[in-house]
Amino acid sequence: MVTLTAIVSPIGRQLHRHLVKQARAQRWVPVRRCNLTACSSKYVLSQVHPMWQEPLAVPGGDRQSPIDIVVRKSVFDPRLKPLTPQYDPRTCQQIWNNGYSFLVEYDDTTDKSTLKGGPLEDQFRLCQFHFHWGENNSWGSEHTVDRRLYPAELHLVHWNSDKYSLFEEAVMEENGLAVIGVFLKIGKRHEGLQKLVDALPAIRHKGSAVEFTKFDPACLLPKNIDDYWTYAGSLTTPPLTEAVTWIVMKQHIEVSHDQLAVFRSLLFTSAEEEVQKSMVNNFRVQQPLKGRTVRSSFTPFLKEVPTPSDSPNTAV
Ligand SMILES: [Zn+2]
């Protein structure tokens, strides 16, 4: 298959570099308007993040994310293997507020923290993880399952180190990224998450970063990582490139209300700005499926309940 980098002219290369720079600057600063019925349009208009106010450089294609996962329509694929994440906590480097979410970044210059297996044929390197969340516990996740909303969603971002040499290269390519999505639900306090929560007051404002080390992201995965949905999608922040193999965990993790409240104490704004804005509702609006298949690694055990019209026993 012809890749973008293989066909770009010098001008194309310049554009490519520009897009990559833009992608870096805006990395994970998604543009998301709340599409929930619970949000009034007035609220949406007043809260839309600046990132989503400008026309998008790359308009949506046919495999945009996030989506609603309709369980009945997902297709069990017995060829899907178990996922094998192997993370080295020593590759954890820093945590920073990029003005849209907070990112925990990993050294991705070597294959020390990797993801293999599942739907993936290549080896992918972990580069960062971040979250999306709502202003309250009724919404906040980017993906939904049968329209069910979760208060937050974790994204662990990996890039294909078998095929590419840099994240910035992989982000433009079809098979460049693999992102694990994990839903957060309100319940018990999450001990692993607390180390992150404790670091957040130091990066309250946009642009602030502090050293953050020895954090094992595997502690944020649910106990059962063998059950997941997977589909071909995109980044949910500009440049919205359709580079992502999504792996969305069926099992959620629990965090306490107080832990999520600290997420909401972060700010979209820098210290110099006059009007400070809470970092909430940092998710993208859901996107049409456009004929894509969502595969599942598990059998949903769906039992069709016959309706009166198609059941001979009740058609009396
Ligand atoms: Zn994300």
Domain membership of residue 305 (yes or no) is: no
Per-residue pLDDT of 172-186, as tens digits, reads 998 999 999 999 999
pLDDT of residue 57: 55
Ligand 1 centre distance from Cα of residue 215 (Å):
19
The residue segments making up the domain with residue 248 are 4-296
Which CATH number do you get for residue 195?
3.10.200.10
Domain membership of residue 302 (yes or no) is: no
- How many other CB atoms are found less than 10 A from the CB of residue 216? 16
Domain membership of residue 152 (yes or no) is: yes
DSSP lists the bridge partners of residue 104 as 95, 129
How many structural domains compose the chain?
A: 1
Domain membership of residue 153 (yes or no) is: yes
Ligand 1 centre distance from Cα of residue 142 (Å):
8
Ligand 1 centre distance from Cα of residue 157 (Å):
8
| Contact assessment for residue 283 and residue 141, using Cβ atoms and an 8 Å cutoff | yes
Ligand 1 centre distance from Cα of residue 73 (Å):
24
Q: Which amino acid is at 71?
A: V
Domain membership of residue 308 (yes or no) is: no
The model's confidence at residue 314, banded by pLDDT at 50, 70 and 90, is very low
Q: Which amino acid is at 49?
A: H
Per-residue pLDDT of 208-262, as tens digits, reads 999 999 999 999 999 999 999 999 999 999 889 999 999 999 999 999 999 999 9
Q: Which amino acid is at 203?
A: I
Per-residue pLDDT of 54-78, as tens digits, reads 665 555 689 999 999 999 999 999 9
Mean pLDDT of the chain: 84
The model's confidence at residue 50, banded by pLDDT at 50, 70 and 90, is confident
The torsion of the CA quartet 268, 189, 227, 289, rounded to 10 degrees, works out to: -30
State how far the Cα of 232 lies from the Cα of 241, in Å rounded to an integer: 11
Domain membership of residue 309 (yes or no) is: no
Ligand 1 centre distance from Cα of residue 11 (Å):
30
Per-residue pLDDT of 163-173, as tens digits, reads 999 999 999 99
- The SS3 assignment for 254 reads strand
Ligand 1 centre distance from Cα of residue 219 (Å):
18
Most confident option among 17-26, 235-244, 253-262, 293-302 = 253-262
Domain membership of residue 306 (yes or no) is: no
Claim: this prediction has a pTM higher than 0.85: no
Ligand 1 ion local residues (Cβ < 5 A):
155
Domain membership of residue 252 (yes or no) is: yes
Per-residue pLDDT of 76-111, as tens digits, reads 999 999 999 999 999 999 999 999 999 999 999 999
Query: What tokens appear for 87 in the block?
Result: 């993370």
pLDDT of residue 254: 98
